[in-house]
Amino acid sequence: MIDDVAHARTDGLTAIAAARTMDELRAVEADLLGKRGPLARAKAGLGSLPAEQRRDAGRALNEAMAAVQAAADERRAVLVAEVRRAQLASERLDLTEAHRKPSRGHAHLVTQATERLEDTFIGLGFQIAEGPEVETDWYAFGALNMPSSHPARSMWDTLFVDHGPPGSTVLRPHTSPVQIRVMETTPPPIYVVMPGRVFRRDTADATHMPVFHQIEGLVVDRGITFPDLAGTIEAFTKAFFGAEFTSRLRPSYFPFTEPSAEFDIRRPDGTWLELGGCGMVHPNVLTAGGLDPEEWSGFAFGFGIDRMAKERHGVADLREMFSNDIRFIEQF
Ligand code: PHE
């Protein structure tokens, strides 16, 4: 009998120490101290013992029950403390976070491309100018040698703004209006590039966006000729893309340049990338800008910045650049 009690006591203490959760402890306690537990059974057997053994067995039993109860209480206290600690850790509000430096972002890849282009042109002796994104019909078309109803206006899928007489105010479809604004405010010689946002009624697809960016170039000086244009495009190509790149001009048409050309750059692998338009500034455009075409001549060019960024970083779809997905943006 005393042996049984001793066994039950040792087994019980081991089981209590091994309980890892409150539920486990509760189950162990119920087993040990419950009505059908080993101690309860021993207690029930006391009555059948001879009187002289009963006293010792009773004492052993009481001690065993007290020891088991004390061990269970102790274990419970430990487990309660553990639960509480875990809860505090999970609910912990780290106030030091507010004092930590915010993680640092960076310029969007179109902004990066614009800044690199500006740097390259500054290196070639150009200055930077900007013009408004909402323009009058005169700056967007009229001053660029496209009188109203000129068919060449349909080269740009213009977005008209509901302001003034119908058709008089537009979201600029290109950066060329800034040429006129620069001529009006800057006496030649003029060597400027004009980056900015432009708008066309285009449906977004992998290579088009209704809002995109261009950089315009304008040179007006005495005795500027077509070779100056070709040489500037070539110098820019090498400075921006690298010495292994070259450029070519293809005959084209723009109302505001004469002659006009498209310019392409040749990648080291021999493939061509169409970049933009250019040409000698049309005499009517110089006149519209307040300059005497007998005294001054010049050239202009314009090309898309977004496509250059797309080309440079191997982005498959232009729309990705404006989806505002931080996982995409963070790569550049
Ligand atoms: N503005 C023209 C376009 O958007 C590009 C261009 C600029 C062409 C300057 C010639 C000279 O397509």
Nearest CA to ligand 1 atom 12: 277
Residue 179 beta carbon below 6 angstroms from any ligand 1 atom: no
For 279-292, how does the pLDDT look when each residue is reduced to its tens digit (9 = 90+)?
A: 999 999 999 999 99
Ligand 1 pocket member 277 (CB < 6 A): yes
Instruction: Answer yes or no: is the C-beta of 158 below 6 A from any ligand 1 atom.
Output: no
Q: Is the overall model pTM greater than 0.75, yes or no?
A: no
125: Cα separation from own chain's centroid:
33
pLDDT (tens digit, 9 = 90+) per residue, 157-201?
899 999 999 989 999 999 999 999 999 999 999 999 999 999 999
Taking the chain, what is the end-to-end CA distance rounded to the nearest angstrom? 80
Low-confidence ranges of the chain (pLDDT < 50): none
Q: Is the CB of 176 inside a 6 Å radius of any atom of ligand 1? A: yes
Q: Residue 276 Cα, ligand 1 centroid: separation in angstroms? A: 7
Q: Kindly report the protein residue whose alpha carbon is nearest to atom 7 of ligand 1.
A: 302
- Report whether residue 291 contacts ligand 1, using a CB cutoff of 6 Å: no
With a 6 Å cutoff on the Cβ, whether 146 touches ligand 1 is no
**How many Cβ atoms are within 10 Å of 250's Cβ, its own excluded?**
11
Whether 216 contacts 175, CB under 8 Å: yes
| CA-based max dimension of the chain | 137
Please give the DSSP secondary-structure letter assigned to residue 153.
G
Q: In the prediction, which pLDDT does 89 show?
A: 85
> Reduced to 3 states, what is the DSSP secondary structure of residue 39?
helix
Q: Is 298 in the pocket of ligand 1 (CB under 6 A)?
A: no
260 CB-near residues (< 8 Å, 6+ apart): 251, 252, 253, 254, 277, 278, 279
Q: CB 158: neighbour CB atoms within 10 A? A: 21
Distance CA 288, CA 299 (A): 15
| pLDDT score for 97 | 63
How confident is the model at residue 93, as a pLDDT? 77
Residue 260 CA, ligand 1 centroid: distance in Å: 9
Under 8 Å between Cβ of 263 and 234: no
The tokens describing 182, both together, are 């620069």
Of 179, 182, 197, 256, best ligand 1 pocket probe by most atoms within 8 Å of the beta carbon: 256
* pLDDT number for residue 98: 66
pLDDT the model gives residue 203: 92
- Please state, as a whole number, how many other Cβ atoms lie within 10 Å of the Cβ of residue 311: 16
- Measure the CA–CA gap between 59 and 57, rounded to whole angstroms: 5
Quick one: residue 307, left, alpha or beta (phi over 0 = left, psi -120 to 50 = alpha)? alpha
